[in-house]
Amino acid sequence: MSLFNTCRLRSDRIPLRLRTRATLSIAIGISLLGGCAAPKFTVDDGRPVNPELLANIQAYGQGEQALRPAIARSAQLSDADCSRQWELPIAVATSQQWAETDRVAWVRALKVDERPTVIAVAPGTALQPGDKLVDIDGTASTEAEKMLKQLADMRDQGRPFPVRTAAGQTVKLVPFEVCRGYTRLAPPNTPELQEYHWLMSYHPLQVAKADLTEEEALWTVLWTQGMSEEGGARMKTYHYGTQVIGSLYTLATIASGIKGAAMAAEAAVATAQKAAATVASDLIRQQLIEQAKQFGVDRIRDQLAKSAQQLTQAQVVASMQQVAANKGLLGGVSRVAATVFDRADTWAYQRMKRLGADPLAGFALHQKMLERQLLSNALPFDPERMASLQAVAQQDGRGEDVVAVLKGIRPETLNFDTGDMPLASAPTEFSYEDPVARDASPYAQGLIEAMLGTPENLLPGARR
């Protein structure tokens, strides 16, 4: 029941004879004013908050602020060969379903409160980060989830629509079409979540922590779209049992910051960890432990020697082994997606050229992630992907440029003798009979599949 209706009912319950008495009317009026005061929104009262969550929320905002302009730029492709989705020139978040202290962290980091709050905009948009949406095409509600659903529904209709901010500003939002494959970031309280799907992908929050440049952000968006285009048919075949429900899908794509979605993400991460424990061999696990130890020793030695900030050849190989292992441990639909990561690389390379961007941005992002040890995501290359994309660049006459981007470490030198330790990879080839897919967990095939196939009233955080 709305606040307005509640107030009206209270007034209706007052006996007529009492309403004629001035003194009682005044007293009742004061009582009604107190009960019908405007809703209070969280403010930063200076209290201590979880510093890790605060940093993750800040990174989430920075990542969205890098990706939203890139998403808008990708619309310039007008690629007739790709499937299409509607996007918005803004990204929004809400803290309504978060714990009280966590809501303070959202305000402190991004000025986000319980209302749908703009956290990122594309160039040319009249709205700014921090603006609160209070009316979306005539829909006004204190329930953020209802507002976000309305925003998603208006987006998918593909026509311009008005929104009004808490400051009284009315702005017309114009949806635009992009190639299929929404690019999203993991929620701040589940930063390690990674999910690759033909409809949408969640990249781990460490991608945002790479401080994406404009062209690296564009590469990330195009790569995500390319993975959808190149692997969509295979992923659809694998997910044969899931029915796509539009309302849940639109909610998931636009409200990844809602606590309910974050709770589902936590379950998905737990399932992924279970899958990893099932399919990872002792050899690969031991490799990763030894590589991590050696990397730490090498970094200390480098710092003591005040050497140049450049990865050694051994560190590059160890890091790329970890990248390969990360891909091999993906489960469900994400595991299917991993079989076309190399095709997504080429797809993104070619579209970067069409947009007049530097197609070597993928190599630059790869190098940055190796240097920062941001390896548990799909954007750095494993040895096979490096060789494949390097060959594309070589044919394009950019071979020496790739060498320069990789700071002098030539791809062909990565094949030096590593003794008896093979490059880490998935212990078995992909199969549609993946046992993880038959797991009893509703998240066995991933968060997105679960949200698409689960009735709304059964989703985590739903009202019962």
Contact 159, 204 (CB under 8 A): no
Within 10 angstroms of residue 377's Cβ, the number of other Cβ atoms is 21
SS3 143: coil
CA distance 11 to 438: 57
- The pLDDT of residue 1 is 34
Whether 183 contacts 190, CB under 8 Å: no
CA distance 240 to 349: 31
72, HSE (Cβ side, Cα atoms, 13 Å): 19
User: Strand 133-136 to strand 117-121: parallel, antiparallel, or no bridges (unpaired)?
Assistant: unpaired
- Residue 5 Rama label (left phi>0; alpha psi -120 to 50; beta): alpha
Q: Note the pLDDT of residue 439.
A: 53
- Identify the segments of the chain with pLDDT beneath 70: 1-38, 238-313, 408-444, 453-464
Between β-strands 170-173 and 161-165, what pairing exists: parallel, antiparallel or unpaired? Answer: antiparallel
Q: Which H helix or E strand runs over 147?
A: helix 144-157
Rounded Cα–Cα distance for residues 192 and 203 (Å): 8
Residue 102 in contact with residue 50, Cβ under 8 Å?
A: yes
pTM of the model: 0.80
Euclidean distance between CA atoms 105 and 43, whole angstroms = 10
- C-alpha–C-alpha distance, residues 255 and 116, integer Å: 9
